[in-house]
Amino acid sequence: MELLNRPRRLRKDPVIREALAETRVNRNQFIYPYFVKPGTGMRDPIAAMPGIHHFTVDTLLTDVESGLKLGINKVLLFGVQGPKSEEGDAAWNDRSVVPTAIRELKKAFGRDLYVITDVCLCAYTTHGHCGIVHDHEVVNDASVERLVKMALAHAQAGADMVAPSDMMDGRIGAMRKGLDADGFTNTALMSYAVKFASAYYGPFREAAGSAPGFGDRRSYQMDARNGREAMREALLDEDEGADILMVKPALAYLDIISQLRQRTDLPLACYNVSAEYSMVKIAAAAGLIDERLMTLENLHAFARAGADVIITYHAREVVEKGWL
């Protein structure tokens, strides 16, 4: 057959395929999430997320140390602790588990480890919402005030970067101002700028004990049907001083990552969330899919869409098993 264009020529052998791969992922792009609770000596498996654990500060230090040797040098901390209260005061208490973990991690690993913290009230409030509730409504400005206090508590403990995940209006600007006023001009802000109201957070809410006690999060998280609004949210956060913009979840929102890549010069992060992770793990355990291949396919899709950094529960296993 006479045929001028034969794209398969360049797919013939692994050597040429490797040379021409348009997208590469490496471990420096990974941010690895950790769930931290009070106490000592515990490393309890989270049933909804196979391979992920609840750590106490001491076991966290051990795990982070072994991760660092593999090149996992950026972590995202989530606190799981009581006492829960109406306004979530434990969220900005400097004796809470996250500030304690930050101080210990920084003491042990200094600048070798980059410590990022999730800033949100939902794990600390009795009602499980991400802000302050008045008359069954999550009120914006009072929530922002508390979230700024939480960001400050993390910065004071030594966090390199804080990552607000609440989706209140104006919190990025308020946090930047609050951090700067307190001298934390070098504490970076990664905004969960485009965070959709999503069923993909299910396993996480079990892990963090942060499911809303009434209603849902649709009055603050974004509607999954909206792409233009996503750009608006992201660009507002850029104007307010975000250093990195995040899209979350990742797999069902690759179009959003790719569109945003065209609209901003800021670095982009995507959050490969809990159910995206657990679906792969559970399908693999059932013998339905090849875990290594599916994980790598997903990770490369994030990078191809335009994500610079990838927050993923797969990170540790991917580097441990040398999948990249």
Q: Please give the C-alpha separations between residue 74 and each of 91, 148, 269, in angstroms, as whole numbers.
A: 22, 23, 13
We find the least distance from the C-beta atom of residue 105 to ligand PBG, in angstroms, to be: 19
Return the residue of 36, 76, 113, 130 that touches Zn ion, per CB under 5 A: 130
Applying CB under 6 A, the site for ligand PBG has a residue count of 11
Rounded least distance, CB 274 to ligand PBG, Å: 3
- Dihedral sign, CA of 274, 279, 32, 95? positive
HSE of 40, CA atoms in CB hemisphere, 13 A: 1
Residues 6+ apart with CB under 8 A from 222: 167, 194, 195, 196, 197, 229, 230, 233
**Which one, of 243, 236, 221, lies nearest residue 120 by Cα?**
221
Out of 96, 125, 165, 295, which residue is the one contacting ligand PBG (CB under 6 A)? Answer: 165
Our finding on whether 144 is near ligand PBG (CB under 6 A) is no
Of 130 and 242, nearer to ligand PBG (C-beta) is 130
Q: Which of 115, 122, 303, 318 binds ligand PBG (CB under 6 A)?
A: 122
* 161 near ligand PBG (CB under 6 A): no
Position among 25, 46, 120, 307 found at the interface with ligand PBG (CB under 6 A): 120
Residue whose Cβ sits closest to ligand PBG: 204
Question: Residue 130 interacts with ligand PBG (CB under 6 A)?
Answer: yes
Closest approach of Cβ 167 to Zn ion, in Å?
8
Closest approach, Cβ 250 to Zn ion, in A, equals: 18
Which residue in the set 96, 125, 156, 274 belongs to the binding site for ligand PBG (CB under 6 A)? 274
Report yes or no: 307 and 250 within 8 Å, Cβ to Cβ: yes
Report the chain's C-alpha Rg in angstroms. Answer: 20
Torsional class of 308: left (φ above 0), alpha (ψ -120 to 50), beta (otherwise) = alpha
The answer to whether 176 and 241 are in contact (CB under 8 A) is yes
Minimum distance, C-beta of residue 130 to ligand PBG, in the bound complex (Å): 5
Dihedral of the alpha carbons of 138, 144, 147, 148, in degrees to the nearest 10 = -170
Active site residues: 195, 248
Instruction: Tell me the window of 105-113, 117-125, 195-203, 218-226 that interacts with Zn ion (CB under 5 A).
Output: 117-125
Q: Does 122 bind Zn ion (CB under 5 A)?
A: yes
Q: What share of the chain is helix, strand, coil (3-state, %, to 5)?
A: 45, 20, 35
Q: Pick what 191 binds: Zn ion, ligand PBG, none; C-beta below 5 to 8 Å, kind-dependent.
A: none
Maximum distance among all Cα pairs of the chain, rounded to whole angstroms: 74
> Smallest gap, in angstroms, from Cβ of residue 133 to ligand PBG?
15
For residue 271, what is the enclosing H or E element?
strand 268-272
> Under the criterion CB under 6 A, does residue 204 sit at the interface with ligand PBG?
yes
Q: Interface with ligand PBG by CB under 6 A: which residues?
A: 118, 120, 122, 130, 165, 201, 204-205, 210, 273-274
Q: Interface with Zn ion by CB under 5 A: which residues?
A: 120, 122, 130
